[in-house]
């Protein structure tokens, strides 16, 4: 009996080792498909990967992507429509894309806000329009709550603004509370499983809009098929669920920034009536695009760029 148990343990260990080796190989393949295209800026708690486009003397627009995303969500189409008239800084949020963070605790919304402000301080940006998509919208709001005088305007695209709970089927696999278990999953089964389920998950995320065929490369989506991406997305998902309730309580007293919210009327991930329309009570305009889904920076870049321009025009 003991020999059978030992053999079983050795078999499981060998299988996990094989999965870990396969995961490392897949990660290297992904980074060849979507190489790093910007610069790295060390900040307290990690380093942020960013691209800095357009005239340096122009008004600054900072683009902040959502959950399990990367800066290519904006360079896919939005940045090219803004960079003639604005200094456009698109970044990988801490821990995402090619950015790093030292611990999962830094996934908390105020910590992400602090790290991005540290990047902007290092770049000499005193004031900026913040454009955040999805979870990036929650981070942009956290930044405005931390330094209201430095946010010229908010342009929130399908943002997370209020408590959502863990009821998003596309992200159910990210619900891992333990950092240790999160890493064990990331380095063994997460990447092979993500490869097998990518098409179905992307269909849910983009619905009712189609996912572009070049999303994995031009949109940077392949970067989500790495252990690092699973760790960051899981930590972000858990931290957002824990932190957004406290953040939403501050809007009535501490949110004094002009701007607005743009939603796809058929958003499949964040209900517009929960996360968009209520922000009108806090001074933000609200708009909907009929028949459109959650991934507007990819599926409707011209509309997003126009929205950002109009919100920037509200800057006091």
pLDDT in tens, 46-98: 999 999 999 999 999 999 999 999 999 999 999 999 999 999 999 999 999 99
**For the residues 213-240, what does the mean pLDDT come to?**
95
Q: Is residue 259 part of a domain?
A: yes
The contacts of residue 288 (CB under 8 Å, 6+ apart) are 262, 263, 264, 265, 272, 276
- CA distance readout (Å), 311 to 102, 230, 240: 34, 33, 25
Q: What is the CATH number of the domain that holds 53?
A: 3.40.50.1820
Q: How crowded is residue 2: how many other Cβ atoms within 10 Å of its Cβ? A: 6
Residue 113 reports pLDDT greater than 80: yes
The more confidently predicted of residues 3 and 236 is: 236
Q: Please write down the HEC assignment for all residues of the chain.
A: CHHHHHHHHHHHHHHHHHHHHHHHHHHHHHHHHCCCCCEEEEECCEEEEEEEECCCCCCEEEEECCCCCCCHHHHCCCHHHHCCCCEEEEECCCCCCCCEECCHHHHCHHHHHHHHHHHHHHCCCCCEEEEEECHHHHHHHHHHHHCHHHEEEEEEECCCCCCCCCCCHHHHHHCCCCHHHHHHHHHHHHHHHHHHHHHHHHHHHHCCCCCCCCCCCCCCHHHHCCHHHHHHHHHHHHHHHHHHHHHHCCHHHHCCCCEEEEEECCCCCCCHHHHCHHHHHHCCEEEEECCCCCCHHHHCHHHHHHHHHHHHCCCC
**For the residues 28-42, what does the mean pLDDT come to?**
89
What pLDDT score was predicted for residue 19? 40
Q: Is residue 294 part of a domain?
A: yes
Compute, in degrees rounded to 10, the torsion defined by CA atoms 199, 38, 227, 138: -70
Band (20; pLDDT cuts 50, 70, 90): very low
What pLDDT score was predicted for residue 88? 98
The more confidently predicted of residues 29 and 37 is: 37
Residue 146 reports pLDDT greater than 60: yes
Q: Which domain holds residue 78?
A: 35-312
Distance CA 148, CA 76 (A): 29
Residue 15 reports pLDDT greater than 50: no
What pLDDT score was predicted for residue 18? 39
**For the residues 252-262, what does the mean pLDDT come to?**
97
| Cβ–Cβ < 8 Å for 156, 259 | yes
Closest by CA to 242, choosing from 171, 145, 299, 164, is 164
What pLDDT score was predicted for residue 3? 54
Structural domain total, the chain: 1
Q: Could you report the per-residue pLDDT of 279-297, keeping only the tens digit for each? A: 999 999 999 999 999 999 9
The contacts of residue 274 (CB under 8 Å, 6+ apart) are 162, 164
Q: Is residue 128 part of a domain?
A: yes
Q: Is residue 244 part of a domain?
A: yes
Structure tokens given for 293: 């889904």
Predicted TM-score (pTM) of this structure: 0.91
Distance CA 219, CA 47 (A): 22
Distance CA 34, CA 113 (A): 26
Closest by CA to 23, choosing from 189, 180, 174, is 189
The contacts of residue 185 (CB under 8 Å, 6+ apart) are 176, 230
Mean of per-residue pLDDT scores for the chain: 91
Q: Is residue 21 part of a domain?
A: no
Q: Is residue 85 part of a domain?
A: yes
What pLDDT score was predicted for residue 166? 65
Q: Is residue 2 part of a domain?
A: no
Q: Is residue 10 part of a domain?
A: no
| Cβ–Cβ < 8 Å for 254, 266 | no
Distance CA 127, CA 124 (A): 9
């Amino acid at each position: 009996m003991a020999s059978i148990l030992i053999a079983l343990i050795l078999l499981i260990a060998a299988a996990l080792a094989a999965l870990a080796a396969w995961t490392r190989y897949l990660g290297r393949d992904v980074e060849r498909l979507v190489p790093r295209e910007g610069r790295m800026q060390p900040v307290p708690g990690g380093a942020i990967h960013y691209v800095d486009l357009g005239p340096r003397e122009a008004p600054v627009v900072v683009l902040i992507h959502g959950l399990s995303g990367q800066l290519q969500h904006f360079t896919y189409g939005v940045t090219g429509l803004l960079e003639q008239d604005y200094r456009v800084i698109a970044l990988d949020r801490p821990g995402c894309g090619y950015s790093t963070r030292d611990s999962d605790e830094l996934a908390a919304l105020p910590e992400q806000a602090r790290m991005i402000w540290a990047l902007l301080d290092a770049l000499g940006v005193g004031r900026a329009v913040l454009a955040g998509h999805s979870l990036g919208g929650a981070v942009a709001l956290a930044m405005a709550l931390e330094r209201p005088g430095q946010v010229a305007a908010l342009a929130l695209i399908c943002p997370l603004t209020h408590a959502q709970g863990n009821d998003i089927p596309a992200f159910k696999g990210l619900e891992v509370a333990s950092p240790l278990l999160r890493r064990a999953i990331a380095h063994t089964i997460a990447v092979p499983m993500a490869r097998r389920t990518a098409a179905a998950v992307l269909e849910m995320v983009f619905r009712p809009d189609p996912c572009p065929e070049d999303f994995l490369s031009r949109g940077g989506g392949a970067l989500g098929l790495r252990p690092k991406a699973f760790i960051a997305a899981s930590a972000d998902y858990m931290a957002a669920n824990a932190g957004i309730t406290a953040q939403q309580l501050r809007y009535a007293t501490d949110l004094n920034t002009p701007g607005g919210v743009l939603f796809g009327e058929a958003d499949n991930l964040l209900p517009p009536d929960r996360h968009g329309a209520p922000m009108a009570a806090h001074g933000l305009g609200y708009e909907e695009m009929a028949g459109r889904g959650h991934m507007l920076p990819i599926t409707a870049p011209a509309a997003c760029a126009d929205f950002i321009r109009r919100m920037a025009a509200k800057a006091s």
